[in-house]
């Protein structure tokens, strides 16, 4: 999600988010993911580092994005329900579009500063839930430059960021039996951190630094061939990062 230089100074997010009414539906959908989706649409190998995932409270799950199936794999793998931010077009996908509607995925209008999506994300975080963001804003086998939306919401909410690396998802979903003979999708959860914003509202340069520092942390969880523009880990800094 891009951050406009002309974005509003303050976003109102005081409207209450009633997540209790959604929990029962989401847990049913998770059952479908685990026992049907991972058995038909994607080969799932498992998760590593789940002990880093907070047992309660708000969190922002930050993932890389290789294939269409990545957010679904993460939803099924995490120990708590996570609400993804996804391009608004997912609601229009034939058949599978019913899934984001039932889950109440946060629809995002890409290539713009989507105030409505950010308000909804902040309401969900205020309710103590977790959201999912793919900072690249697009699918790619190797990391692309992250968008500053991850830093903006991280600073605005104060919620910890949970880096989650996804590998082995390329080629899914598929009914091709040959793909099932190779290793499937797996996730690796890293140590949580927060942004140290300092005094005042961070400017575009500060948001850029926060985003890149977060992306380097995510890169460190990935195999070298998936690190992309963040492949040189010697350039990683933690000036704005505070591990929790």
Tell me, rounded to whole angstroms, the distance of Cα 50 from its chain centroid.
15
pLDDT for the residue 182? 92
Range of the domain at 118: 20-243
Distance separating alpha carbons of residues 40 and 236, to the nearest angstrom: 39
Q: Residue ranges of the chain with pLDDT lower than 50? A: 3-15
Residue 191's region, left for phi above 0, alpha for psi from -120 to 50, else beta, is: beta
pLDDT for the residue 6? 36
Distance separating alpha carbons of residues 89 and 161, to the nearest angstrom: 26
* Burial track 93-105 (b if 16+ CB lie within 10 A, e otherwise): eeeeeebbeebbb
pLDDT for the residue 96? 66
Distances (CA, A) of 187 to 6, 64, 73, 209: 37, 10, 8, 26
pLDDT digit string, tens, across residues 32-63: 888 887 888 789 999 999 999 999 999 999 99
Burial class (CB in 10 A: 0-12, 13-18, 19+), 159: buried
pLDDT for the residue 34? 81
Task: Tell me whether residue 13 is in a domain.
Answer: no
Task: Tell me whether residue 216 is in a domain.
Answer: yes
Q: CATH number of the domain at 223, please.
A: 3.40.1130
pLDDT digit string, tens, across residues 91-117: 777 666 678 888 888 988 876 677 889
Task: Tell me whether residue 11 is in a domain.
Answer: no
Task: Tell me whether residue 64 is in a domain.
Answer: yes
Q: What is the total count of domains within the chain?
A: 1
| Residues facing residue 85 across a β-bridge | 106
| Residues facing residue 162 across a β-bridge | 61
| Residues facing residue 48 across a β-bridge | 188
Structure token pair of residue 14: 């005081």
Q: Which of these, 18, 22, 17, 20, lies nearest to 101 by C-alpha position?
A: 22
Task: Tell me whether residue 14 is in a domain.
Answer: no
Task: Tell me whether residue 1 is in a domain.
Answer: no
Tell me, rounded to whole angstroms, the distance of Cα 227 from its chain centroid.
17
Task: Tell me whether residue 48 is in a domain.
Answer: yes
Task: Tell me whether residue 12 is in a domain.
Answer: no
pLDDT for the residue 7? 38
**Start-to-end Cα distance in the chain:** 25
Distance separating alpha carbons of residues 186 and 98, to the nearest angstrom: 25
Q: Which of these, 14, 54, 56, lies nearest to 161 by C-alpha position?
A: 54
| Residues facing residue 87 across a β-bridge | 108
């Amino acid at each position: 999600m891009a951050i406009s230089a002309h974005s509003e100074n303050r976003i109102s997010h005081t409207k209450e988010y009633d997540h209790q009414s959604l929990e029962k539906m989401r847990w049913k959908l998770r059952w479908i993911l685990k026992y049907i989706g991972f058995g038909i649409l994607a080969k799932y190998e498992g998760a590593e580092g789940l002990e880093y995932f907070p047992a309660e409270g708000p969190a922002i799950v930050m993932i890389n994005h290789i294939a269409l199936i990545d957010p679904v794999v993460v939803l099924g793998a995490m120990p708590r329900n996570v609400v993804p931010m996804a391009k608004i077009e997912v609601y229009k996908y034939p058949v599978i579009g019913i899934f984001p509607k039932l889950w109440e995925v946060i629809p995002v209008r890409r290539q713009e500063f989507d105030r409505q999506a950010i308000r909804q994300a902040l309401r969900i975080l205020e309710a103590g839930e977790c959201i999912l963001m793919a900072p690249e804003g697009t699918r790619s086998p190797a990391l692309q430059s992250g968008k500053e939306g991850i830093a903006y919401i991280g600073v605005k909410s104060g919620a910890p960021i949970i880096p989650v690396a996804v590998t082995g998802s390329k080629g899914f979903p598929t009914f091709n039996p040959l793909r099932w003979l190779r290793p499937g999708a797996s996730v690796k959860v890293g140590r949580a951190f927060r942004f140290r914003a300092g005094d005042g509202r961070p400017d575009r340069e500060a948001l850029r630094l926060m985003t890149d520092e977060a992306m380097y942390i995510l890169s460190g969880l990935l195999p070298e061939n998936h690190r992309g523009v963040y492949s040189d880990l010697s350039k990683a800094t933690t000036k704005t990062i505070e591990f929790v």
